[in-house]
Amino acid sequence: MMGMTVHDPGGLEGAPGSTDGLGLLPVETILQAPKTTTLSRFAWDGIAGTGYEIHMGQTRLKAGTPLLTVHERNGEAITDSDGCMTPDGLALGTYMHGLFDTPADRALAGRNGY
């Protein structure tokens, strides 16, 4: 929704097709079943946190930088990324629910004007 385009080739959310997003983030999303929910460990600018992600497909960065480094999903160690921050730092988004449950992440957001 915050990105450039959402593609729904299988018609999971209505008629098959593509819809323009808000264009706030340089990302493109392709909806695909199944919907997944994972408990995750992540780091934002080196600050560790935990949360959960809900995905139904895949979001690809077209520009910008990933917001988070994901270290674990459902107890399995991984190396992945999530989210996007625009090159100018004025917009960011993530699928990570619970990002601001960690006091240090709230402080980081405040210091950076988010």
Q: What share of the chain is helix, strand, coil (3-state, %, to 5)?
A: 10, 55, 35
Beta pairing, strands 5-8 & 76-82:
unpaired
Helix/strand/coil for 91: coil
Using a 10 angstrom Cβ sphere, with 0-12 exposed, 13-18 middle and 19 or more buried, the burial of residue 29 is buried
Ordered by start, the domain boundaries in the chain are: 33-111
Q: What percent of the chain has pLDDT over 70?
A: 100
- Per-residue pLDDT reduced to its tens digit, 46-77: 999 999 999 999 999 999 899 999 999 999 99
Tell me how far apart the alpha carbons of residues 95 and 36 are, in angstroms, rounded to a whole number. 11
Helix/strand/coil for 104: helix
Over 90: is that where the pLDDT of 106 sits? no
